[in-house]
Amino acid sequence: MGPLARTGMGVALACGVLVTAVSIGQNSDDDSPKAPTAAPSKEIPKGPYVALGDSYTSGPKVPPQTGDPSGCDRSGLNYPALVAKELGITAADFRDVSCSGATITDLTRPQSTDHGTNPAQLSALSATTRLVTVGIGGNDIGFSSMITKCVATGTLFKLADRLTDITDKAPCEEKYASGDVDQVAQKIRVTGDRLTQALTEIKRRAPEARVYVVGYPAILPVKNTHCGRGLPLAPGDVTFLRQKQLELNTMLGERARTAGATYVDTFTPSKGHDACSPADTRWIEPLRPSSPAAVVHPNERGERGMATAVVNALKN
């Protein structure tokens, strides 16, 4: 996603889906790759490894910022870099082409940023690739702009609540999912179709790779509580937005499995580490970050947690 808007998942997910694919020469864990075969080896590949995705993958504002173009906001400590290090993958066998603000369309076409153009991400794949990770989808459903609008609505709601003692309302949900039309659910279905096409193309370009679709970590708490100034949302909208994130992750998992890829669950291990949790434990930063990170995006702790989830998936 992107720092609130451009980073991809923006305030929320830049959020897109994270996919990891392993192909010959690409690796994501700590065993040496076997010779190419029709069926991928169960051993952990050592590379080549290609990381695809949006801002939840690239790690905007998490130091050190590196890579070209600089407008993609890649961190040297994002989860792909940490996975590569854990698996002992050399720099020559590791390519991180993730980019803030990326949508699934940007996997197959150049993406313009404020500072340079990122080539089509799938152009980094080849027949020698052995590991691919993709984190994308949040920007496709407009999660960033939705969170921004929900925060604005929540701010007004809290003022009205103090004045009129309104309880447990969800004004943002009323805007996006009122009556028989759930706009977010519709966008998730369309995004799922696009993801399926992208996974098919990844398989075509990197037939020997293992592919892992990485889901988004928890942005909001389990209970219908408020985040104070961290994320001023109406109480009911905390539940609404959390449910929509779960629906997005569920779609990513279903599409990954149907395409023969592996889904990486980062939501479960991130529970209790959302943007409303204490500063010393949170993975996702609120509107006023206390650690270097884009607003409503993973900090270094979050990127490390996501890396651990990917490595565990590779080992299992």
- pLDDT tens readout for residues 27-79: 433 433 333 333 344 688 889 999 999 999 999 999 999 999 999 999 999 99
Q: Are 58 and 35 contacting, i.e. CB atoms less than 8 angstroms apart?
A: no
Amino acid at 221: P
Model confidence at 2, pLDDT cuts 50, 70, 90, reads low
Among 85-99, 140-154, 180-194, the least confident range: 140-154
Average pLDDT over the chain reads 86
Helices 79-87 and 300-315 pack at an angle, to 10 degrees, of 50
| pLDDT for residue 15 is more than 60 | no
Place of tokens 């392993």: 22
Pick the closest to residue 61 from 86, 81, 78 (CA basis).
78
Q: What is the largest CA-CA distance in the chain?
A: 69
- Map tokens 């909208």 to a residue: 237
Q: What is the dihedral sign for C-alpha 260, 133, 287, 222? A: positive
Mean pLDDT of 242-263: 97
Which of helix, strand or coil describes residue 132? Answer: strand
Q: How many residues does the chain have?
A: 316
Quick: pLDDT tens for 196-233: 999 999 999 999 999 999 999 999 987 656 676 778 88
Instruction: Using alpha carbons, select from 149, 171, 148 the residue that is nearest to residue 160.
Output: 171
Single-letter amino acid, residue 298: P
- Do 231 and 268 form a contact (C-beta atoms < 8 A)? no
Distance of CA 310 to the CA centre of its chain: 12
**Which pLDDT does position 175 carry in this prediction?**
86
Pure H helices in the chain: 55-58, 79-87, 143-164, 171-176, 183-205, 235-258, 300-315
Span 17-315 CATH architecture: 3-Layer(aba) Sandwich (3.40)
The pLDDT assigned to 158 comes to 58
